[in-house]
């Protein structure tokens, strides 16, 4: 008897909808920031190209309000948790540096 073939893991339809909603939020951010970059510069070109490619995958017309709101809420929670962790690290005197070695005793 041979081993069964291993399938490629696939996300559920709900996970895919959530991911696409987050990509649409990222597109909104990129679109808002594009005018602030110098036209013709490398960052401008990269963001412009990214917007074009991502818009084909997650067009605004495919936005589902409930899913979009849920994705935005999740992104906000992630940002809040990250800022809380940074504040905790600063209060501990770590300044965000994990694993800093203690000075050697003389």
Q: What is the CB-side half-sphere exposure of residue 102 using CA atoms within 13 A?
A: 3
Helix, coil or strand: residue 1: coil
CB 68 within 8 A of CB 27: no
How confident is the model at residue 7, as a pLDDT?
57
Per-residue pLDDT reduced to its tens digit, 29-68:
999 999 999 999 999 999 999 999 999 988 876 666 666 6
> In percent, how much of the chain has pLDDT > 90?
25
């Amino acid at each position: 008897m041979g081993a069964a073939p291993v399938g490629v893991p696939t996300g559920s339809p709900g996970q895919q909808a959530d991911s696409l909603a987050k990509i649409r939020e990222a597109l909104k951010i990129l679109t808002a920031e594009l005018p602030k970059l110098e036209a013709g510069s490398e960052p401008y070109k990269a963001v412009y190209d990214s917007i074009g490619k991502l818009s084909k995958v997650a067009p605004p017309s495919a936005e589902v309000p409930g899913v979009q709101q849920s994705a935005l809420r999740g992104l906000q929670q992630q940002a809040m948790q990250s800022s809380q962790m940074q504040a905790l690290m600063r209060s501990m005197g770590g300044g965000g540096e994990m694993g800093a070695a203690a000075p050697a005793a003389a």
